[in-house]
Structure formats: structure tokens, C-alpha cells
Amino acid sequence: MIVLRHLLCGLLVLGGTAAWAQDKDAEKTEKPAAKKSSVELNDARGKASYGIGRNIGNQLKNDELDVDVALLAKGISEALADIENPLSEDDFREAITEFQKAIQDKAASKNDEFLKKNSKEKGVKSTDSGLQYQVIKEGKGKKPTAKDTVEAHYKGTLLNGKVFDSSYDRGEPAQFPLSGVIKGWTEGVPLMTVGSKYKFWIPSDLAYGPRGRPPVIPPNSLLVFEIELIDVVPAEGKAKADDEGEDEELDLKVKKKVGK
């Protein structure tokens, strides 16, 4: 199940670097400053134990899972102590299903509320699919089709403003086939002309849906992108781009700029 897979990811010590990085990033941006921890870490066992706990906590926070922390800790301690489990497997599965539905309903309600309000903002337009966009700058070049490969600069954020990917931060634009990215890009980018810069609000069902892209993008996330369309890649450029390695971070299947 989705929630269980996300939680188990936090238990993997060697795979916990992303969650740890999120924790450190939060310390840099949090206002006011985070409270100081009173925990004493004197040896590798203690540091590893605390680190695993932090990774679990970061994953739960990132996925916005409203768990009972005291019962979560109790479950861990009693499992380690081989105490009889009072919860049957059927009861657990039923509870997880109900818990997931509550999370999905909450996220959907939050996203719908935002999109409804945002649609009334000056300059914001909506498509039949629910995609919203705003023209920041209109170019004079040609428009790509959903089958083209394009070159673009972009920045992607969650609804809370957290940046999860940015070609600007990498210092170079990217090339990607519009047939191989999330639906919101496939629909949205062809609205643009070369030289344009648009802002897009992409509903979850046009992005990564209930699966998300953990630990970077939580399930049912509404995504916000600023995209600057630089060029439509000619056929020979597209062939070269297709030979390049893919950026696996977000499944956007972004291709690095040809010649770079």
C-alpha cells in the first residue's frame, strides 16, 4: 500500500539521505528558528537510532500523515520487545484503507479550494482539464505540438512554495519530449510560443496523482511550475536528445541541453 511503502522508506538507513537532506533544508528556512534538541548522542548506535527516527518523522511530515506519535512509538517498541500484536491483519488493512482515504480526501479538498480561489485571480486562465496558467511574458515564436521536443528553463514548487526541481539552479535549460512528461506539461507547454514564460498550476491528476514521487513530491500534490520556452528542438536535435541520459529525479524525462 502507498502509505506503508512511504513509511518503510524512512526505515532504510542507507536510503534515508533524502529525508535527512529535507530536515537540514528545513533548518535553513524555518522561521522562527527551530527549537534545540535535548537528546544526547554519544555513540554510533545512538546516532543511528536517532537518525532512523528523524527519517521516519521527516517522511511522515513530508507526506502530511496525521499519525498518533505516541502509538507509533509504542508500536515500534512493542514489536522490538516481541509483545503480542493486539491488531489483526484484517483490522490493520481496513484501518490503513480508511486512513489513506481520509488523507486523499483532505488533499483533494485543499487543492480544490486553492484552485477555485486561484481561478479568480487576475490573468489566470483555466482549461477544461482543470489546468490553470498565467502568462508572465508572451513570446513571438512558434508553438510546439504535444509530439515535439522542446528546450526550456523551469522551476517547480509545491503549493507551500518548496522548490522540488529547477533547471535554473542547475545553470542550464533542459530538453524534453512533450509526449513523455506529466500530463500538465503535455497540455500546457503547447499553449506557449517560443520566447514565452508561463506559470502553471497543475492538479494532482495531471501530475503524479495518489502515488506522488516520494520523498520529493507527496501524494496528491498540486504542482506549480514557471516555464520559459526557449526553443522547439529540430529533428536532428531531438535525435541527439533522445540519446542522452534521463533525469530520473522526477520522471519528467528531462534531457540535458544538446552539446552540453
Please indicate whether residue 225 is annotated as part of the active site.
Answer: yes
**Which of these is catalytic: 63, 133, 208, 217?**
208
**Which of these is catalytic: 182, 202, 227, 230?**
182
**Which of these is catalytic: 63, 133, 154, 202?**
154
Integer CA distances (angstroms), 116 to 151, 188, 200, 219, in order: 31, 19, 14, 20
Query: Is the distance from CB of 229 to CB of 241 less than 8 angstroms?
Result: no
Please indicate whether residue 50 is annotated as part of the active site.
Answer: no
Please indicate whether residue 136 is annotated as part of the active site.
Answer: no
Q: Is 12 helix (H, G, I), strand (E, B) or coil?
A: coil
**Which of these is catalytic: 133, 198, 200, 225?**
225
Please indicate whether residue 114 is annotated as part of the active site.
Answer: no
Handedness of CA 151, 155, 156, 159 (dihedral sign): negative
Closest C-alpha to 123, from 201, 61, 49: 201
Closest C-alpha to 221, from 41, 40, 6: 6
**Which of these is catalytic: 50, 99, 114, 164?**
164
**Which of these is catalytic: 23, 56, 165, 202?**
165
Q: Is 225 helix (H, G, I), strand (E, B) or coil?
A: strand
Phi, psi of 222 (to 5 degrees): -85, 130
> Kind of pairing, strands 174-177 and 254-256?
antiparallel
Report the greatest alpha carbon distance in the chain. Answer: 69
Please indicate whether residue 133 is annotated as part of the active site.
Answer: no
Q: Is 197 helix (H, G, I), strand (E, B) or coil?
A: strand
Amino acid found at 35: K
Please indicate whether residue 164 is annotated as part of the active site.
Answer: yes
Q: How far apart are CA 232 and CA 230, in angstroms?
A: 7
> Catalytic residues, which ones?
154, 164-165, 182, 208, 225
